[in-house]
Amino acid sequence: MKSLAELEAIRDKTLSEINMRTDRQGGIRIVVGMATCGIAAGARPVLGAIIEEVSKRELKDVIVSQTGCIGVCRLEPIVEVYRPGEEKVTYVMMTPQKAVEMVTEHIVNNKPIKKYTIGEADK
Amino acid sequence: MKELSLHILDIANNSVAAGASLVEITVDEDIENNRLSITVKDNGTGMSPEALSGVTDPFSTSRKTREVGLGVPLFANAARQSGGGIDISSQLGEGTVVTAWFMHNHIDRQPLGDIASTFVALVTESANIDFIYRHILYDKIFEADTREIKDKLKQVPINTPEVVLWLKDFIIEGINTLRR
């Protein structure tokens, strides 16, 4: 059974890593659209898959966050990737599987998956 | 929306947008009276009587980007289709309380779904806001309060991956224990 006391152990274990994380600069930002349209289209499991993959791979300079409606509701779930110094990449109609693939290829290997991006959506 | 937990995420996001510092989510399963109720209470900016009267109208929204807002209307519809309803009270400067109720065994009542993922999505995005999740079943109560969690964590942020994974399991286990 989980208890609040376990948090103290987690706290002690992660303290040193935390300092690294707050000091980081110029990290990658992954943003998931989490308005009504995104949620209804399945954004929550996409967000969960990204958080899980990022923590499994221990990617320390990646921030996962959420935003409101991006404006293209029919293409939700939408995920945007901001890498410093590069143009934003917008992924559309995401699924947890595509999201995990995106973390591997785009975030880790720095090869954006073109076929999942907004530019390819209406072709 | 396929699950009530998705509606909860959406409605609680409204509380976040309203500048709340504390958002209380209560799920009350009153099996004896065949009633499930969900309450989202916040201490955000609240709404004027005019704004409140239009809140279940899909063509009423405070946002500037377009003229529709579907969060509350979808939640209201989910309640009505399962023999329930919705009640929203709000006071400018005080906050807003949204309560929806459902016939627990109604065939069109959506499942509660993945509450833990909803809570984690809220807490990770708004680490500076406090959330309480309270689940009542018969005479048993499970409660997760981010103020208590942050108190234990001290300087470690609540949206640290290790903490997030713990929090998810904490909620899943807490709800499962109620059902046992």
pLDDT band, very low/low/confident/very high, at A23 (cuts 50, 70, 90): very low
Q: How many CB atoms lie within 10 A of CB B169?
A: 12
* Residue among B5, B6, B119, B126 with most chain A CBs within 10 A, to mutate: B6
**Partner-chain contact A11 B9, CB within 8 Å:** no
pLDDT band, very low/low/confident/very high, at B127 (cuts 50, 70, 90): confident
Chain pair A-B, CB pairs under 8 angstroms: 90
In this complex, the residue of B120, B160, B165 whose CB is nearest that of residue A18 is B160
> How far does B112 lie from chain A, in Å, by closest CA?
15
Tokens read off for B60: 């009423």
- Residue in B122, B128, B120, B99 with CA at minimum distance from that of residue B21: B128
Residues B131-139 have a mean pLDDT of 95
> How far does A105 lie from chain B, in Å, by closest CA?
21
Domains delineated in chain B: 4-179 (3.30.565.10)
* Residue among A2, A6, A21, A103 with most chain B CBs within 10 A, to mutate: A2
Q: Which fold has domain A24-120?
A: Glutaredoxin (3.40.30)
Share of chain B above pLDDT 90, in %: 73
Per DSSP bridges, beta strands B85-91 and A89-91 are: unpaired
- Tell me if B109 sits within 8 A of B2, measured CB to CB: no
pLDDT band, very low/low/confident/very high, at A16 (cuts 50, 70, 90): low
Show me where the domains of chain A are located: 24-120
CA distance B43 to B90: 10
**Is the pLDDT confidence value at B140 over 70?**
yes
Residues B123-130 have a mean pLDDT of 91
ipTM, two decimals: 0.84
Alpha-helix runs per DSSP H in B58-160: 71-80, 115-125, 146-153
Residues A27-38 have a mean pLDDT of 93
Share of chain B above pLDDT 70, in %: 95
pLDDT in tens, B17-29: 999 999 999 999 9
**Partner-chain contact A55 B152, CB within 8 Å:** no
Share of chain A above pLDDT 70, in %: 90
**Is the pLDDT confidence value at A20 over 60?**
no
Residue partners of B75: CB distance under 8 A and separation at least 6: B7, B10, B11, B86, B98, B100
Residue B60's pLDDT is what?
67
Residues B7-35 have a mean pLDDT of 95
pLDDT in tens, B94-126: 999 999 999 999 999 999 999 999 999 999 888
In this complex, the residue of B1, B125, B174 whose CB is nearest that of residue A66 is B125
Residues of B with CB under 8 A from a CB of A: 1, 6, 9-10, 13, 17, 63, 65, 69-71, 74, 114, 117-118, 120-121, 124-125, 148-149, 152-157, 160-166, 169-170, 173-174, 177
pLDDT band, very low/low/confident/very high, at B161 (cuts 50, 70, 90): confident
**Partner-chain contact B161 A35, CB within 8 Å:** no
Query: Across all residues in chain A, what is the average pLDDT?
Result: 88
**Is the pLDDT confidence value at A18 over 70?**
no
Burial of A45-59, coded b for 16+ CB within 10 Å and e otherwise, reads: ebbbbbbbbbbeeeb
CA distance B139 to A116: 49
Residue B64's pLDDT is what?
57
**Partner-chain contact B154 A11, CB within 8 Å:** yes
pLDDT band, very low/low/confident/very high, at B65 (cuts 50, 70, 90): low
Q: Is B71 helix (H, G, I), strand (E, B) or coil?
A: helix
